[in-house]
Amino acid sequence: MTNRDSIEHAYTAAHIRALTLVENLHQRIEDMPAPSDDGPAIGWDDVGTLRHLCARLEELMEPNEPDDDGS
């Protein structure tokens, strides 16, 4: 196996893992309680949990590279 093959294999595995994690996260959010008249009551703890998750997702969406100042 060449170095390029190793890189491609590692990248493919990481890509599949990332997609699996995103899908699992999506399902977890879908499974969280939603406001409704006939469903379980939501509380401030549910709001806090969802806000915390949003904050962590926003951190992930931040660029990983330093700002380019043109120099």
Residue 11's pLDDT is what?
Answer: 97
d(Cα 20, Cα 14) in Å, to the nearest integer?
10
pLDDT tens, residue order, the chain (71 aa): 899 999 999 999 999 999 999 999 999 999 988 888 787 788 999 999 999 999 999 999 998 776 655 54
Three state DSSP letters for 4-70: HHHHHHHHHHHHHHHHHHHHHHHHHHHHCCCCCCCCCCCCHHHHHHHHHHHHHHHHHHCCCCCCCCC
Run of H or E including 3: helix 3-31
Q: What is the pTM of this model?
A: 0.71
